[in-house]
Chains A and B, each alone.
Chain A
Amino acid sequence: MTLIPSILSVPPSPGVTARCAEARAIVLSNMPVNGEYRLLTLDAPAEVLDCAPGQFFQLLCPVPEGEHPFLRRPMSIYGYDAHAEQLQFLYKIAGAGTRGLATLRAGDTLNVLGPLGQGFTMPDAWQNLMLVARGVGLATLAPLARMAQQQGRSLTAICSARSPELAMSVDLFRSYGAEVIVVHDEDGSSEVPALEALIEARIAAGSVDAFYTCGSRRLLTMLQRLGQKHGIPGEIAMEQQMACGLGMCQACVRPFREGNEVVHRRVCREGPVFPISEAIA
Chain B
Amino acid sequence: MSTSDLSVKVGELTFANPIMPASGTFSEDLSDVFDLDVLGAHVLKTIMHGKRAGNPTPRVCDLQGGMLNAIGIPSKGIDDFRDRMLPYWSDYKAPLVVSISAHSMDEFARLAAEVSLPGVAAIEANISCPNIEADGNAFAMRPDTTAEVMRRLRAETDLPLWAKLTPNTGEPVAVALAAEAEGADAIVTANTALGMSIDVRTRQPRLGNVMGGMSGPAVKPIALRMTYQCAHACRVPVIGCGGIATLDDVLEFLIAGAAAVQVGTATFQSPTVMARLIAELSDWMQAQGVTSLGEIIGSVQIPGGEAA
Contact = CB atoms under 8 A, between A and B. Distances in A.
Q: Do A and B come from one complex?
A: yes
A197 interface: no
A96 B95 CA distance: 40
Interface stretch (B67-75, B176-184, B287-295): B67-75
A4 B216 contact: no
Contact of A4 (B33, B56, B63, B65): B56
Report the contact-size class of chain B (Cβ under 8 Å from the partner). Answer: 35 or more
A242 B71 CA distance: 11
B65 A70 contact: yes
Interface in A246-279: 246-254, 264, 269
Contacts of A7: 53
A70 B25 contact: no
Contacts of B267: 244, 248
A70 B55 CA distance: 22
Contacts of B29: 18, 244, 246-248, 269
B271 interface: yes
A10 B76 contact: yes
Interface string B165-199: 00000000000000000000000000000000000
B74 to A, nearest CB: 5
A249 B24 contact: yes
Nearest to B62: A70
Interface centre among A9, A242, A243, A247 (most CB of B within 10 A): A243
Nearest to A8: B53
B30 A248 contact: yes
A271 to B, nearest CB: 14
Nearest to A73: B62
A246 B270 CA distance: 11
A60 B269 contact: yes
Contacts of A253: 54, 57, 59, 74
Nearest to A3: B56
Contacts of A250: 45, 54, 59, 71, 74
Contacts of A21: 33
Interface in B200-257: 204, 208, 216
B268 A71 contact: yes
B57 A249 contact: no
Interface of B is mostly: loop
A2 to B, nearest CB: 5
B93 interface: no
Interface string B23-50: 0111101101100000000000100000
Interface centre among B29, B63, B64 (most CB of A within 10 A): B29
A12 B269 CA distance: 25
Interface in B1-41: 24-27, 29-30, 32-33
A72 B267 CA distance: 11
Contacts of A8: 51-54, 74
A2 B30 contact: no
Contacts of B63: 68, 70
A111 to B, nearest CB: 7
B205 to A, nearest CB: 9
A241 B25 contact: no
A6 interface: yes
A243 B69 contact: yes
A258 to B, nearest CB: 14
Given A20-B33, A71-B67, A244-B25, A249 B60 contact: yes
Contact of A18 (B32, B204, B272): B32
Contacts of B130: none
Contacts of A111: 270
B271 to A, nearest CB: 6
Contacts of B57: 1-2, 4, 240-241, 251, 253-254
A166 to B, nearest CB: 24
Interface centre among A8, A60, A111, A252 (most CB of B within 10 A): A8
Given A10-B74, A22-B270, A242-B60, 10 more contacts: A2-B56, A3-B208, A8-B51, A21-B33, A70-B62, A70-B65, A70-B269, A244-B268, A249-B25, A264-B54
17 contacts: A1-B56, A4-B53, A4-B56, A9-B76, A60-B269, A68-B62, A68-B63, A68-B64, A70-B67, A71-B269, A72-B269, A246-B30, A248-B27, A249-B24, A249-B60, A251-B60, A252-B59
Interface of B: 24-27, 29-30, 32-33, 45, 51-67, 69, 71, 74, 76, 84, 204, 208, 216, 267-272
